[in-house]
């Protein structure tokens, strides 16, 4: 006999009481729970969520359990610099680059999916107003932003969801065929709305795919929210390195820890001769780059056709070709990050 909603409710009642708001059973054996929790210490909340997951997973034919928490968790003490944490969100990580086209979104998306695959609760905020392509890369091209009410009756934005990752994108708000003419204050407003008036629920990681450079969006993010750190994506080319150095300085000057750099397009692996490597953008490799910038090298990702194809097809390479050199590099970077923050 398949498990029913009332079975699950009965099992959870000793744990949750009337704080269990909704139970949904999806086709593939996934159970989605919604809890309404009063403010409580984060550790206590996490323990309750974990106990609910374990209890439901023990029931027959349940493949996974998703938990959404509706009420904000206890507000953590605001840091003295006025930065405001997002209730329920543990680590906000910015993925940044000096210039566009170096693979920032590719890295951000694959890291998000890899972290989710490792069991973390993950969100991604695509804050790149100039090239918001995270929805495409996550196979959510047709997703639209939903508006729901929070438990105080206020309108909040509901993230889209795929591959275990919640996602909001500037692409939801702009006409992709029109050049972007937003002024700084509008852009800042949108980023803040996506940070604070969104149903992110409980997240271990919120990855923010930043626009290239050191403009308004970077400043808004850095000044609004306490960041666990920034990851700088660069290629081994000299110009790109120079730009990366500028980005790095901005984060360092504003007191944001730089978790390290990711060298993308480090070398080329020809699909027909995978044992060969060509240093297209110059040799010397990642360690030289990291030494020059004085930061940790989180990893080097090769130039691989499958990586681009995965982005275009909306299936990130960590899922489509987990054995590939780039997928392995990306998974290792994800692991380093979850151990560092
Ligand atoms: N290591 C790589 N191998 C092959 N293609 C890549 C790699 N990194 C990025 N790309 C491709 O390069 C293009 C630019 O990457 P993207 O992640 O959109 O850069 P950015 O966000 O920095 O502008 C995309 O088409 C992407 O698929
Ligand atoms: Mg991008």
* pLDDT in the model for residue 123: 98
Interval 89-117 mean pLDDT? 95
pLDDT digits (tens, 9 = 90+) for 29-39: 899 999 888 77
Ligand 1: which of 108, 231, 266, 308 to mutate, most ligand atoms within 8 Å of CB?
Answer: 308
**pLDDT for residue 43 is more than 90:** no
- The domains of the chain are located at 5-69, 89-340
Interval 309-331 mean pLDDT? 96
Residue nearest to atom 8 of ligand 1 (CA): 103
Measured from the Cα of 107, ligand 1's closest atom is 17
Ligand 1: which of 302, 311, 316, 320 to mutate, most ligand atoms within 8 Å of CB?
Answer: 311
**Of the ranges 12-16, 128-132, 281-285, the best mean pLDDT one:** 12-16
Residue 100 CA to ligand 2 centre (angstroms): 7
Measured from the Cα of 306, ligand 1's closest atom is 4
pLDDT digits (tens, 9 = 90+) for 212-226: 877 777 888 888 999
List the beta bridge partners of residue 262. Answer: 233, 299
Interval 21-34 mean pLDDT? 90
Measured from the Cα of 128, ligand 1's closest atom is 21
Give the closest ligand to the alpha carbon of residue 213: 1
Residues less than 5 Å from ion ligand 2, measured at CB: 104-105, 128, 131
**pLDDT for residue 75 is more than 70:** no
Measured from the Cα of 106, ligand 1's closest atom is 17
Give the closest ligand to the alpha carbon of residue 313: 1
* pLDDT in the model for residue 181: 61
**pLDDT for residue 231 is more than 90:** yes
pLDDT digits (tens, 9 = 90+) for 287-298: 777 787 789 999
Rounded-to-integer distance, Cα 339 and Cα 7, Å: 37
Give the closest ligand to the alpha carbon of residue 264: 1
List the beta bridge partners of residue 96. Answer: 232
Residue 293 CA to ligand 1 centre (angstroms): 22
Residue nearest to atom 2 of ligand 1 (CA): 303
Which CATH number describes the domain made up of 89-340?
A: 3.40.50.300
Confidence category of residue 179, pLDDT binned at 50, 70, 90: low
Cα three-residue angle 83-85-91, rounded to 5 degrees: 115
* pLDDT in the model for residue 80: 53
Of 210, 232, 225, nearest in space to 129 by CA: 210
**pTM of the prediction?**
0.77
Q: How many CB atoms lie within 10 A of CB 118?
A: 14
* pLDDT in the model for residue 202: 95
Residue nearest to atom 5 of ligand 1 (CA): 308
Residue nearest to atom 23 of ligand 1 (CA): 101
**pLDDT for residue 270 is more than 80:** yes
Measured from the Cα of 304, ligand 1's closest atom is 3
More confident residue, 42 or 132: 132
More confident residue, 144 or 194: 194
User: What would be the CATH architecture of the domain defined by 5-69?
Assistant: 2-Layer Sandwich (3.30)
Interval 22-51 mean pLDDT? 87
Give the residues surrounding ligand 1 with Cβ less than 6 Å away.
97, 100-106, 131, 133, 264-265, 301, 303-304, 307-308, 311, 326
pLDDT digits (tens, 9 = 90+) for 203-214: 999 999 998 877
* pLDDT in the model for residue 256: 92
């Amino acid at each position: 006999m398949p498990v029913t909603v009332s079975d699950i409710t009965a099992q959870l009642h000793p744990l949750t009481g009337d704080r269990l708001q909704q139970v949904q059973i999806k086709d593939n054996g996934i159970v989605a729970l919604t809890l309404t929790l009063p403010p409580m210490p984060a550790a206590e909340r996490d323990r309750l969520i974990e106990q609910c997951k374990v209890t439901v997973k023990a029931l027959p034919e349940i493949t996974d359990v998703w938990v959404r928490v509706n009420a904000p968790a206890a507000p953590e003490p605001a840091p003295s610099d006025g930065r405001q944490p997002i209730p329920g969100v543990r680590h906000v990580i910015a993925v940044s680059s000096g210039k566009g086209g170096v693979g920032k979104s590719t890295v951000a998306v694959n890291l998000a999916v890899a972290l989710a695959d490792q069991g973390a609760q993950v969100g991604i905020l695509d804050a790149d107003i100039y090239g918001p392509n995270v929805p495409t890369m996550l196979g959510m091209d047709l997703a639209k932003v939903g508006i729901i009410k929070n438990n105080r009756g206020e309108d909040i934005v509901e993230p889209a969801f795929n591959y275990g990752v919640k996602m909001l994108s500037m692409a939801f708000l702009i006409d992709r065929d029109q050049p972007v003419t937003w002024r700084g204050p509008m852009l800042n407003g949108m980023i803040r709305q996506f940070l604070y008036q969104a149903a992110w629920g409980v997240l271990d990681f919120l990855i923010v795919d930043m626009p290239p450079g050191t403009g308004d969006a970077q400043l808004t993010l850095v000044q609004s929210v306490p960041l666990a750190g920034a990851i700088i994506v660069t290629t081994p080319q000299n110009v790109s390195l120079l730009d990366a150095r500028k980005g790095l300085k901005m984060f360092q000057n504003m007191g944001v820890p730089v978790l390290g750099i990711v060298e993308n397009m480090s070398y080329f692996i020809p699909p027909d001769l995978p044992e060969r490597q060509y240093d297209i953008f110059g040799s010397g490799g990642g360690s030289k780059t990291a030494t020059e910038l004085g930061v940790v090298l989180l990893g080097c990702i090769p130039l691989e056709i499958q990586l681009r194809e995965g982005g275009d097809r909306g299936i990130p390479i960590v899922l489509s070709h987990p054995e590939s050199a780039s997928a392995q590099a990306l998974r290792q970077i994800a692991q380093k990050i979850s151990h560092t923050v």
